[in-house]
Homo-oligomer: A and B are copies of this chain.
Amino acid sequence: MKIINNNKSKSKSKVKVIPLGGLGEIGKNITAFEYEDEIVIIDCGLAFPDEDLYGIDLIIPDVTYLVRNKDKVKGFFITHGHEDHIGGLPYVLKQINAPIYGTKLTLGLIESKLQEHNILNDCTLNMVNAGDIIELGNLKVEFIRTNHSIADSCSIALHTPVGVIVHTGDFKIDFTPIGGETMDMQRYAQLGKRGVLLLMADSTNALHEGYTMSEKTVGEALENLFTKADGRVIVATFASNIHRVQQIANASIKNGRKIAFSGRSMEKISEVAISLGYLFIPKEMIIDLNKIKDYSNERVTIITTGSQGEPMAALTRIASGTHRSIQIENGDMVIISASPIPGNQKAVSSVINDLTQKGANVIYGAIEDIHVSGHACQQELRLIHALLKPKFFIPVHGEYKHLINHAKIAEDMGMDKSNIFILETGDVFELARKKAQVAGKVQSGRVLIDGMGVGDVGNIVLSDRKKLAEDGIITVVIVIDRENKTIISGPNIVTRGFVYVRDSEELIRDIRRIVVKSVERCLDNNVTEWSEIKNSIRREVDNFVYTKMKRRPMVLPIITEI
């Protein structure tokens, strides 16, 4: 009887699924699952800013809704250790101090992040293994092993009173993975057989037919290259791609090369991975970067950051000749074992050009297959849908074009269109046993992190930066004796970032003349509001400069009254 009662009471409440990031974008993944007085959060990532966000360092999700309901939050359940899944934690944990659950490597990476932010001691980290089920109140969270471009990745099955929700996390299906097992498809099948109410699945590669190649194929390509190399081999890849690093290390050891790590995150993550037993390199094969000169070139491999051409990363500094301990020599082979993320193509291209020009033999995507994606392509997505046969489906982790294509894949496999939901960040998706719908909206969006400031860069600041970036600034300083209605000193014209013209002195003189006229006219007309005088200066200088130069620098009048 108790069970029946229980079931009855359960069926009255609905599960709310609230994505607060990761939809319509690739980045800052975070989704809340709410049932009565329990909230479970899957992932808590950051996003990197586009160029139009001048001066912004990174973006985290707006978690106002969670802060308001923080007493309900039972924990953060993290699928894997990539920045777009863990990077928001240090900021969000300061507002919502709930325990974090994740596998060993994932927690290792989170730990070093919390340490940097000096909040590790205030946080609770709970280690789980793939296969574990964490029982909260009504909700149970199950971790299921997957494959991805970082070790120890998991899907999550959320067992709720209305049914099972499967969130794939980022995944691919690798039948020959490095240092691990294939995704637990048997558990997927079992869940599918019993009935899955909702699937939320990775859409990153939903535009790509076929399936993603195994990580192992990269190892084979790398070994081929290593046997051909007779100078140093410098390989750039993502520091977090530990399986890749393992394969680079294997190829090195096979060819009698010592291994040096270059770049802060490469040093840090490889250290964490070795200490936790995810990366196996005999101690005697690792050398300090400062010691590479002690070995002949054909005995050295350098594994480095900078595969995306990031301005301050090690490979970029090697390419520009500004690296402290690595200068390119003739015979060096540089392997860029990563694809450029959209937006980084130009930067990567310029690194390749610089390295080639300095004499390196640069191997990259256009030349050899030395990278595979960490995300499932269409055929793998179909397999997941076939195993789980969910009643409802929400494509996640993608821009709109990815989501809509993933939805089409599900539809083509026979799913009812009305059971597929393309959500937006902030949507409240209400899920019952037989019905699902978007039933509201909560506050959501992006919080911009700029230096030490969190979330205080408003649109005005950003649009000011844009204007300053494009046309610079003209500052007009003037000292006025308001009583006597006279200009005591100035106008003093100072420009920065404004195009210098051959006859700039004349231009400045003209601006000064225009300001004087403008102010005198105001004073003569008994304009008493400084803001009006400033507007008049701004308008007239702006007009004049635009007519003369076809430019609109920011005009900043500053009036001092004596």
Contacts and interface: CB of A to CB of B under 8 A. Distances in A.
B501 A549 contact: no
Contact of A477 (B354, B451, B461, B477): B477
For the complex of A and B, 3 pairs with smallest distance between CB atoms: A469-B469, A468-B468, A55-B470
Interface in A280-313: none
Given A345-B342, A352-B401, A496 B554 contact: yes
Interface string A436-453: 000000000000001111
A110 B462 CA distance: 39
Number of copies: 2
A321 to B, nearest CB: 15
Contact of A54 (B345, B401, B497): B497
Given A401-B356, A489-B562, A551-B450, A500 B342 contact: no
Nearest to A546: B451
Interface residues of A, number: 69
Contacts of A451: 499, 549-551
Given A464-B496, A479-B562, A560-B479, A55 B458 contact: no
A472 B472 CA distance: 10
Given A401-B352, A479-B562, A343 B342 contact: no
Contact of A492 (B51, B462, B502, B560): B560
Given A456-B499, A494-B556, A499-B457, A353 B399 contact: yes
A499 B208 CA distance: 41
Interface in A513-562: 548-551, 554, 556, 558, 560-562
A342 B471 CA distance: 25
Nearest to A552: B451
A325 to B, nearest CB: 24
Contacts of A469: 54-55, 465-466, 468-469
Interface in A473-511: 473, 475, 477, 479, 488-490, 492, 494, 496-502
A279 interface: no
A263 interface: no
A116 to B, nearest CB: 13
Interface majority SS (helix, strand, loop, mixed), chain A:
mixed
A94 interface: no
A465 B468 CA distance: 6
A537 B25 CA distance: 44
A472 B400 CA distance: 33
Nearest to A402: B353
A346 interface: yes
A24 B452 CA distance: 40
A77 B159 CA distance: 73
A456 B498 CA distance: 10
B55 A353 contact: no
B464 A497 contact: yes
Contacts of A558: 475, 477, 492, 494, 558
B471 A473 contact: no
Given A367-B207, A477-B477, A560 B458 contact: no
Interface of A: 24, 50-51, 54-55, 207-208, 342-343, 345-346, 349-350, 352-354, 356-357, 362, 366-367, 399-401, 404, 450-453, 456-458, 461-462, 464-473, 475, 477, 479, 488-490, 492, 494, 496-502, 548-551, 554, 556, 558, 560-562
Contacts of A367: 207
B501 A456 contact: yes
A424 to B, nearest CB: 9
Contacts of A453: 499-501, 549, 551
Contacts of A549: 451-453
A471 B400 contact: no
Given A343-B345, A461-B500, A469-B469, 20 more contacts: A54-B470, A54-B497, A55-B470, A55-B497, A55-B551, A208-B366, A342-B346, A343-B346, A352-B401, A356-B400, A356-B404, A451-B549, A453-B549, A456-B502, A457-B500, A461-B498, A464-B472, A466-B469, A494-B556, A562-B562
A400 B468 contact: no
Nearest to A405: B367
A312 to B, nearest CB: 13
A479 B558 CA distance: 12
A354 B263 CA distance: 38
Given A367-B207, A452-B550, A353 B477 contact: no
B470 A473 contact: no
A551 B475 CA distance: 22
Contacts of A346: 50, 342-343
B472 A465 contact: yes
10 contacts: A54-B497, A343-B346, A356-B404, A362-B401, A451-B550, A464-B497, A473-B473, A475-B475, A479-B560, A489-B561
A560 B477 contact: yes
A310 B372 CA distance: 31
